[in-house]
Chain A
């Protein structure tokens, strides 16, 4: 039981990064980014390329992959989302589907559809307080927490972080206050894509690297973001942890491959009962 809760916590933290990324884009750009899964896949493959292709150690490869991924995210913003600025959220959402399809198939085109793994040494799991903990789990916890603290610091204490929150809160007033929207949007994409790449690495370490990997996470990620109240980045993290533990505990009664169905059931129930999210204030969500 404790093992399940622990595993669920780790799964939840894995979901937390893309969920945060999704909520961040939603809060600033006001659309649900369905390409989040493909951004995760792309990130994993970029890092895989640097790790296995160029033989860089994983941390360096992750750094290089994150930088390249952020560059690509900016390029996509320039080519796709900037020309569509001012259009409805649904138009942007359909565009993001297009981006998702294009990215996933770009990955398939260059890397093929075979399953791959990062070049890391496999270590034996630790035993602590009766829990079986493997190294990937420790790494996941450490990296996700570090990423969350970094994001929190950016939001609270940096100029662009405050500007992001201001644009999310009230874009018209932000313009009146001289906040450059373009720059804020670019920063949002950079952060969003770095989070997606990190998540891609962690998911790849936890399982495998394959073109479907991000797609498999779309539903849990959206569920987590909705749990937190979409558009509320930090609450998305809490939603993710809650969902991770629920999914893990559900394996007591359901086969593990039905996790997605658990996520869907949680989401359906939540949307019927409390659509503004567990932590949102009713009436604020659209």
Chain B
């Protein structure tokens, strides 16, 4: 999906030739220490930062030149890290407005998409009439993900879903993310919390100083001592 990306700000590259690929129905978690370029990677994927070099492909099509809304309409669902719900709109309206301008790819109706998404996140079903700003942090993350899933994106990109959540809420949220993965949604996630991030995904990628240090099945990365040494500055 990403091909030899060099990306950064004001001509100063942060990513030095990163390539990665998420297979359809697969899942990949990108982990790495602070400043490794995870956020820049996410911004490049969703179209908030233009890469200086390299290509971004979505289902085999080159989307490098498209801006964020255009990528969203092509089927890239994005859940930003912060401010990812419309606080003054109700939960139901958040879901609706996410569907209004990007109709489902399969042609499914709003009602059927709503049911499908609420089955994935039963926690928010009783909150449909509540203004999203009144929800707890974990619930807001779920609403944000549910909204991103409404138009049946081909890829769901999650930006640090555990950020700002208590450990308990983060655990609960990742239970929900696991459900998304098991439902067959293609998932790309960057995550600060290595353990949580790698337990839900099939593949793991370790990014250090803008370069890929390891790309392997998530289970192996978790078991491997490699992670420890990377974070301790080894290699």
Contacts and interface: CB of A to CB of B under 8 A. Distances in A.
B73 A178 contact: yes
B85 interface: yes
B86 A170 contact: yes
Centre residue among B69, B93, B147 by max chain A CB count within 10 A: B69
Contacts of A178: 69, 72-73, 101-102, 151
Interface in A149-176: 159, 162-163, 165-166, 168-170, 172-176
Interface string B51-86: 000000000000000001100110000101001111
Chain B: number of interface residues, binned into ranges:
20 to 34
Main secondary structure of the interface of A (DSSP, over half): helix
B87 interface: yes
Interface residues on A, range: 10 to 19
A178 to B, nearest CB: 4
Nearest to A181: B69
Nearest to A176: B78
A173 B46 CA distance: 12
A169 B80 contact: no
Nearest to A184: B101
B83 A179 contact: no
Contacts of B93: 162, 165
Given A165-B86, A169-B87, A170-B87, A176 B100 contact: no
Contact of A176 (B68, B87, B96): B68
Interface in A20-57: none
22 contacts: A162-B89, A165-B88, A165-B89, A166-B89, A166-B97, A168-B88, A169-B89, A170-B86, A172-B83, A173-B85, A173-B86, A175-B68, A175-B69, A176-B69, A176-B78, A176-B80, A177-B72, A177-B98, A178-B69, A178-B102, A179-B100, A181-B69
Q: Which 3 A-B pairs have the closest CB atoms?
A: A178-B72, A178-B102, A178-B101
Given A159-B101, A169-B87, A176-B80, 18 more contacts: A162-B96, A162-B97, A162-B100, A166-B89, A168-B88, A172-B80, A173-B80, A173-B85, A174-B86, A176-B68, A176-B72, A177-B97, A177-B98, A177-B101, A177-B102, A178-B72, A178-B151, A181-B69
